[in-house]
């Protein structure tokens, strides 16, 4: 296994406009690596971090994060591996390839809390265990909303209901495995499981995932019995935020988890997004990386051969209708038990550029055939893409070579009815406010979103800063993650790999308000450099990196491509008018870097009115926004944008809003009703149409 602390450098992309014949002759699977060996036994034998006697249940941890996430150079392309296979595309939630078979796991499952951590000892993972007395729960859903009356109310009692059930809970369901799946490579995919999940098939352990908001896929072929009914068992864990929720004390922490302590958003628990089983050919296109820029489409098809025989065939790439490009072919030679990358580059002279004003999208399709071009079809995989370029020049953030000003909002992926297990209708309603306000930019504070969100942003021309759960780490966790455990790096790699093809994603966010050590910040800088190296290793489009620093005097800003910091002048400290001079100071120190306000906001209790100088009134919240916006707009030649905190009131477990049932009132909309406050209209007026 490649040492994950040393990421290979990204090779230059193939340049030039190639004819179809040249593509066939010059490109193909230039190299391959063997599929990594993966342990066939549970990780728990080497685990650390047992339950604290008499305290809340704590999870166990192996020596390194449990998915084995790492990067390997495969013929000049850096490929992300998890669980001994390539981290695959997760398009099966919406797109079903004709060469593959799918079995949805979105259904009602058997469910039981396990507060005493008895399940493993009593065999709850076994197919022979009788779960007839268990309750029921939908997948996807958050168990927080299973039985928590008044969850969305600002006046309900805080600390009551399943929203405060922590530790372990179990899910079980039986599935009929088609007989046609014999001889196929089969994986079980989950778009999210919060916070961690272990999976068994008919009592056979498949693996564990850690990280509440990143998708994962577990190979199941060794445990599969096609033509039979089999039992899936999933044990999900959530660490308690507090021992006593009514007093918000004490805080159980875990140095291995991210976040390691209570943070400023609700940690929804359970199987909160869709899940399915996917059967693919033994020789399969696991991932299709596409780059559309400068009138050319470059595609890199990551091909796995899980079979016992070498594969000798071809890969055909169709760049999509309206792109102006023709299909091209490349040889694909993948030895048994190996992974290769097939690269195809084609001109797309008719492809219009993607931009917020004109979000043109195309669909590339790769088809793997045996023996000859146009021969028997083995596998297919498609990927949507846009033609666009993001760069930093001087103090400007540029899209397609032109300066861009980001009119941004932070937002949390949740509703009062669904928590984080949102439906497409709920997403459309929530994201409809983005369009209503004229916003061209959203920050995914501070975790990866459901794939629906990235697709929506692609289609509607909304630019995205993607984030991960690296929030409020202290230097002990930063050091642990960088030098040993590697979960922060795994989250960075999977973020860049999973969202690679989305033209809407223009920035990678590395962390939010984490601790900075003294003496030149060696721990903090090493951690950020490691995360930056991770996303840069797998992003063929070299998107800029930034983060949401807690200070405008961050000693690692030289590492960032775009300087990002959160500021709360006039609220937590200083005066509203301090923002302008602060921006001038940062620009003077880093004149060649654009600046982005990653957060700014205040709060108001909906319906509370009064002078604009009185904290908590809607007038004060609106006036504060207007003051900060004006200072940013005056400096748009070096300030790349402003991102307001936050679109909507949101749920917290952190210990400072219990009087409102854990609801932060910093939003421009109320939590349950989504009723606009005065700040909503102030934002719409100030951030009106602006050219990009």
pLDDT digits (tens, 9 = 90+) for 48-76: 554 555 678 899 999 999 999 999 999 99
CA gap 206, 208 in Å, rounded: 7
Q: For residue 563, what are its two tokens?
A: 């300087």
Q: Give the model's pLDDT for residue 37.
A: 86
**Helix axis angle, 487-498 to 522-538, nearest 10°:** 30
Q: Contact at 8 Å (CB) between 199 and 189?
A: no
State how beta strands 595-599 and 563-566 pair. Answer: parallel
Residue 136: count other Cβ atoms within 10 Å of its Cβ: 9
Residue 633: burial class (beta carbons within 10 Å; 0-12, 13-18, 19+): middle
Q: Residue for token digits 């942003």?
A: 457
Q: Give the model's pLDDT for residue 689.
A: 62
> From its phi and psi, is residue 560 left (phi > 0), alpha (psi between -120 and 50) or beta?
beta
> What is 617-674 written as a DSSP string?
SHHHHHHHHHHHHHHHHTTTTTEEEEEES-SB-EE--STT-GGGTTEE--SSB-TTT-
> From its phi and psi, is residue 316 left (phi > 0), alpha (psi between -120 and 50) or beta?
beta
Residue ranges for the chain with pLDDT beneath 50: 1-27, 42-46, 50, 690-692
Q: What does R_g of the chain's alpha carbons equal in angstroms?
A: 25
Residue 305: is the preceding peptide bond cis (ω within 30°)? no
pTM of the model: 0.95
Q: Which residues contact 557 (CB under 8 A, 6 or more apart)?
A: 549, 563, 586, 589, 590, 593
Q: Give the model's pLDDT for residue 133.
A: 98
CA gap 347, 408 in Å, rounded: 34
Q: Give the model's pLDDT for residue 615.
A: 97
Q: Give the model's pLDDT for residue 375.
A: 82
Three-state DSSP class for residue 224: coil
Distances (CA, A) of 376 to 99, 282, 498, 654: 11, 14, 29, 57
State how beta strands 216-219 and 29-34 pair. Answer: unpaired
Report which of 615, 195, 645 is spatially closest to residue 442, judged by C-alpha positions: 645
CA gap 558, 541 in Å, rounded: 21
Report which of 472, 476, 497 is spatially closest to residue 215, judged by C-alpha positions: 497
- Give the dihedral of Cα atoms 491, 496, 498, 504; nearest 10 deg: 130
CA gap 478, 470 in Å, rounded: 9
Q: Which residues contact 296 (CB under 8 A, 6 or more apart)?
A: 17, 345, 346, 347, 348
């Amino acid at each position: 296994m490649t040492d994950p602390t040393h990421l290979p450098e990204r090779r230059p992309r193939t340049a030039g406009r190639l004819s179809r014949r040249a593509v066939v002759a010059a490109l193909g699977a230039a190299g391959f690596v063997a599929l990594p060996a993966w342990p066939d036994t549970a990780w728990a034998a080497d685990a650390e971090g047992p339950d604290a006697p008499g305290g809340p249940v704590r999870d166990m941890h192996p020596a390194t994060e449990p998915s084995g996430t790492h990067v390997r150079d495969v013929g000049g392309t850096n490929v992300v591996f998890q669980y001994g296979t390539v981290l695959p595309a997760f398009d099966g939630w919406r797109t079903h390839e004709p060469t593959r078979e799918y079995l949805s796991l979105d259904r009602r499952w058997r469910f039981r809390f396990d507060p005493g951590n008895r399940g493993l000892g009593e065999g709850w993972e076994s197919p022979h265990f009788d779960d007839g007395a268990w309750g029921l729960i939908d997948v996807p859903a958050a168990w927080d909303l299973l039985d928590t009356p008044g969850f969305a109310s600002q006046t309900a009692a805080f600390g009551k209901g399943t929203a405060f059930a922590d530790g372990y809970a179990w899910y079980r369901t039986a599935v009929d495995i088609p007989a046609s799946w014999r001889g196929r490579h089969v994986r079980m995919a989950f778009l999210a499981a919060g916070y961690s999940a272990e999976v068994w098939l008919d009592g056979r352990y498949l693996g564990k995932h850690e990280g509440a908001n990143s998708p994962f896929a577990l190979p199941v072929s060794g445990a599969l019995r096609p033509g039979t009914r089999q039992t899936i068992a999933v044990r999900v864990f959530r660490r308690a935020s507090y021992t006593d929720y009514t007093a918000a004390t004490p805080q159980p922490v875990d140095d291995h988890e991210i976040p390691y302590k209570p943070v400023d958003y609700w940690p929804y628990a359970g199987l909160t997004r869709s899940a399915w089983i996917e059967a693919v050919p033994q020789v399969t296109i696991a991932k299709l990386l596409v780059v559309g820029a400068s009138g050319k489409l470059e595609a890199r098809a990551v091909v796995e051969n899980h079979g016992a025989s070498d594969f000798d065939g071809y890969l055909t790439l169709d760049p999509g209708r309206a792109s102006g490009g023709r299909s091209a072919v490349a040889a694909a030679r993948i030895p048994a038990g190996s992974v290769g990358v097939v690269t195809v580059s084609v001109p797309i002279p008719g492809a219009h550029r993607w931009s917020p004003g004109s979000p043109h999208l195309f669909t590339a399709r790769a088809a793997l055939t045996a023996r000859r071009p146009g021969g028997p079809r083995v596998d297919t995989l498609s990927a949507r893409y846009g033609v666009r370029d993001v760069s930093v020049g001087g103090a400007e953030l540029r899209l397609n070579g032109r300066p861009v000003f980001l009119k941004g909002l932070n937002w949390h992926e949740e509703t009062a009815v669904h928590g984080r297990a949102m439906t497409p209708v709920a997403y459309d309603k929530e994201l409809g406010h983005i369009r209503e306000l004229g916003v061209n930019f959203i920050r995914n504070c501070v975790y990866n979103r459901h794939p629906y969100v990235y697709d929506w942003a692609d289609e509607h021309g909304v630019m995205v800063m993607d984030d991960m759960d690296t929030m409020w780490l202290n230097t002990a966790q930063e050091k642990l993650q960088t030098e040993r455990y590697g979960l922060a790096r795994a989250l960075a790699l999977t973020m860049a790999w999973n969202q690679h093809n989305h033209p809407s994603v223009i920035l990678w966010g590395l962390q939010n308000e984490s601790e900075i050590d003294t003496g030149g910040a060696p721990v903090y800088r090493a951690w950020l450099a490691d995360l930056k190296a991770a996303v840069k290793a797998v992003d063929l489009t070299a998107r800029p990196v930034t983060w949401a620093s807690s200070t405008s005097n961050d000693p690692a800003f030289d590492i960032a491509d775009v300087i990002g910091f959160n500021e709360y002048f006039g609220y937590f400290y200083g005066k509203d008018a301090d923002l302008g001079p602060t921006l001038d100071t940062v620009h003077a120190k880093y004149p060649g870097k654009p600046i982005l306000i990653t957060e700014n906001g205040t709060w108001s209790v909906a319906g509370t009115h009064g002078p604009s100088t009185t904290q908590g009134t809607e007038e004060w919240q609106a006036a504060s926004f207007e003051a900060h916006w004006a200072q940013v707009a005056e400096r748009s030649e070096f300030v790349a944008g402003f991102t307001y905190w936050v679109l909507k009131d949101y749920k917290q477990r952190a210990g400072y809003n219990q009087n409102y049932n854990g609801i932060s009132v910093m939003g421009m909309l109320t939590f349950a009703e989504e009723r606009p406050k005065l700040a909503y209209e102030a934002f719409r007026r100030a951030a009106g149409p602006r050219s990009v």
